[in-house]
Chains A and B, each alone.
Chain A
Amino acid sequence: MFLFSNPAGIPRVSSFSFVTTLVWLTTAVFLGGAPTATFVTPEPHAPVASSHFSLEWTAGADDDEELHFELRQSGGPDFADPRVRYEGPDRATFLAGLPEGDHYFQIRAKTPDADSAGPWSDSFHLTIQYQSLTLAWFLFGVGAVVFLATLVLVVAGSTKARREEKAETTERGAFSGPS
């Protein structure tokens, strides 16, 4: 499904790419050259097992060290309930304490005085799915057993060694006799 035929091997442009470019150009014209931002971190293909994730982003061609960024998060792709996670000049953040489920993020660039804000980037989808609790409790139990066994080994071993040392000292004292 291409707009143009491609007899001479010229790179082909899909109708989707064409429409996206058109939308982007129209938006840029309306926003009057507002700064843009995109995520650098690749979207994970599979659910993430831990409760944390690092996100990095960059400014578009109009990059300026003074730019500020706004990162927002939502529980759905439509960003019906957005929450600002970060606002400032940094270009990365470490997201900690994420609960299980789907999380969506968008980034946009702003001029430092916030006069002009660029468009929101494509959304970044992250699924958090912890490991099984059964496995966690099993390993916790294994850890407890190793800990207790080591405790018994060290306490019993050192008690026995002290007893033997004491007996040896007494024996040596008795052997050497009164001075």
Chain B
Amino acid sequence: MILKNIQQVKIGHAVNAISYLIGIMAFVGIYEHIHGAYSAFFISMFLASIYFEYRKNYYIPRRALTAFSVLVILFFFYKFDSSELITQTLEALLVLLGIKFLEKKQVRDYMQIYAIALFLLSGLGLMTLGMDFVVYFLILVFLLSVAFVLLTYYAQDSSLEFSKGSMAKLVAKCLWIPLLAIPLSVVMFVILPRTQYPLLDFLNRPDRAKTGFTDRVRLGEVSSIQEDASIVFRANMEKVEESVLYWRGIALDYFDGTSWRSFEKRLFVPNTRTTKIEGRRIRQMIYLEPYQNVYLFGLDKPVFISTRYVKKYDDLSYSSSIYIDRRMRYEVLSIIGDIIEDENIDEERYLQVPENISSRIVDLVNTTIRGKEGPEKIWSLYSLLHDGEFKYSLQNLPLSKNPLETFLFDSKYGNCEYFASTFAVMLRIAGIPSRVIGGYRGGYYNDVGQYYLIPQKNAHVWVEAFVPQKGWFRYDPTPASMENFALPLEGGSLLKARIFLDTVNYYWYAFIINYNLEKQISFIRKVRTGIKKPSLRLKFDKDGLSKYLIIALSIAGMIIVVRLLIMPRQSREKKLLSAFLQKMEKHGYRKEASQGLEEFVSRVDDERLREQASTFVRSFEEIYFRDKTFTRESVAGLRNILASM
């Protein structure tokens, strides 16, 4: 193992060494993402395999290990928790890697080790995309290319030997492989995000879209609505209580008797009330499907949306200035709450009622609110709709020129649009400024991917009413019990599979498709500046420093332990011998490589030195060439002779 003494490098040794190195690198990459117990298990397996291989030359039977691997896999299946899919996969892979090292490795086992290392690297890529990952990636790719080249030689002839020089040349040539891969990767990097063809899109097959978001709520035109399970967007965020899940899309302010429109859009102008950002903040990464409109959704109330060409309106709705006909993603910062603080609203705009409004409705409103003040007015109207005789339905909708009147007095069946429209109009009649908000309600949380899945059929409208000095309060007059928005996907045995596929789909979009050119360019720029100013990249704050320190220490520790495991038997005698040779060199005698020790000593002129040296040599050879072990005592004795020389 002392390289300077070895002229020839055996291919088997080289392949083995590099495989261990790959193992260490793979482990170092992911150790901070997994549970410590698995790290400990891996390290012990790793060290045990080195110990067995180099010290004992013993291998645990393959069958036992295979059985153990199967048990490990079963164990991971048993404790499978969908919320930690990647972590658990990494843990399982790491354990399998550890077991793999214990085997008497053949070519295919090496291949498996490399494959697992590659999987671990990809897993790491899902966990982090920082600069560290790029470093791991480059190192591992380099190691793997060297390993594969060596393994090819090894597969051809396992007894092959390389001189150190040619080995160095080989490794140097392997450096070119990752370099050559760069142009190809760049091409992939640019082409992949252009792939508009969704690869796993069968989940989102466009059905006969009936339910869904619209920027114009029409009433009285159809009598029944079909549900559409296709997905409109996914929101990557923490899981929150269901009552919070109102996805704001558009605010409608003008009602012409049959439909609601957004009539007067004004850009958002910050004022003292609205700039206050207080309350519970939730960040979401929204992956929006092309849904052929311009509005951007966010959890109510969205205070900031980061993407290009975004317009923010004074009613806290957002639109893109580009028609959304391709997948896009954006980040939303929301503050949770039922109230949007505002003042000095344009009362005329929010009190507009159609001129030909039915007098029956006005009468109903007046009787309902009689003798009530302020918020009580709102509540009385709200409970009239919400808790009254009105039923939620997607069928038997009123077909009428005066849909509100028909709904209120005749059919009493309606979907959220009827409830919200009626409520908003009634509020306006009562002199309370109101508006209808369109968006989505609820969503299904995918624990694996940690995102909400929002299908079209969750489209919803609700109402905001203005209370002077306070702001806009959210009221949802639709009887909520009619629909469970949290379970939009039909159950059944296929549900799990569909969710799993959607997870895959999500990751595909999240990491490949939606990784748009702009991001990529900025990423490249980051890498470049990182390379130019490496000192800036290595943030030497407390956290960063300790992290790099841990990595460096673990690699160093690994190497030391490996040396200790492999070398002690040899190193003791080698150390002795080199100490002896150094001593002799000090006296001016240098041993040729081909000289035996006695031959070497016999040429010493100084009689005293020769005698001492031969005593040393005799006792050394007595043990060495009889293949006995150098015990502590014998080493001490030899050291004494050395000291006297």
The answer to whether A and B assemble together is no
Residues on B close to A: CB < 8 A? none
Residues on A close to B: CB < 8 A? none
